[in-house]
Amino acid sequence: MERGVEAALAEAGANDLFAFADQDDVWHRDKLAKGVAALPDAPVAMSTHDARIIDAEGRVAARSVNTYEERHPYLDQLALLMANSISGMSVVATREAVARALPFPDAPELLHDWWLALLVSGLGAIARIDEALVDYRQHGDNVIGAKRPGVLPLLTLPPVRPFLGRRYRQMAREAFAGRRAVAMHLQARGALTPPAAAFFLHRRLGGLTGHWRGNQRRYVMRCAIGMLLS
């Protein structure tokens, strides 16, 4: 992905925009027009939209991936650090946004769409379109694919004294450590927002004031416990 972005930047003009295409998905005819129209008026900017889920034969399995995965609607950096809610196939971004994302950090969990969303949320602006403009194809060989969130991990892992199960405590530490590492990459690029810094670098729970929902709840809980245990 990084090599592809570098090659595209080398050929693109100063005012060109960027969109990421997965070869197994189907773009709606008005995807690009609506993505471009929604772009915030800022040098570092991107827009994102919803998607339908289709099976290998093109049958609609769900009319909204955001609803299917219970993605949170927030676009602030702290919320996006907790759980990404933006798919690469849904992105239209400015040249400046894509250029500022290079080089991609060396972080195993950090996919290109998540990193771009985090960077733009710290340096510019993101607009969300509440409309499905891509058909997200599920064919059995998806690298990630659409997944329904499970119930809260506190209910799925049996507690072991003194507090939570060892497995959950380890997951919590890893969740916090991984996102703290990403926060430090953002800080190095001058793109870390104060709420994200307060929680991940200075370990202040006061940053957790949002109305967390969907798949984000699991990571909020894990990161908060991981922060306390680290």
Q: What is the CATH number of the domain that holds 29?
A: 3.90.550.10
**Residue 9 is assigned to a structural domain of this protein:** yes
> Tokens at residue 146, please?
């659409």
* Residue 156 pLDDT > 50: no
Shared domain check, 166 and 57: no
Q: What pLDDT score does 73 carry?
A: 86
Shared domain check, 110 and 32: yes
Mean pLDDT of 198-226: 79
Q: What pLDDT score does 132 carry?
A: 96
Q: Residue 110's pLDDT band (boundaries 50, 70, 90)?
A: confident
Strands 92-94 and 45-54: antiparallel
Shared domain check, 121 and 75: yes
Shared domain check, 111 and 20: yes
Predicted TM-score of the model (pTM): 0.87
Shared domain check, 20 and 130: yes
Cα 19 to Cα 52, 79, 166: the distances in Å are 18, 23, 42
Shared domain check, 117 and 220: no
Selection from 23, 21, 26, 20 nearest residue 136 by Cα? 26
**Residue 118 is assigned to a structural domain of this protein:** yes
Shared domain check, 161 and 133: no
Structural domain boundaries enclosing 191:
153-229
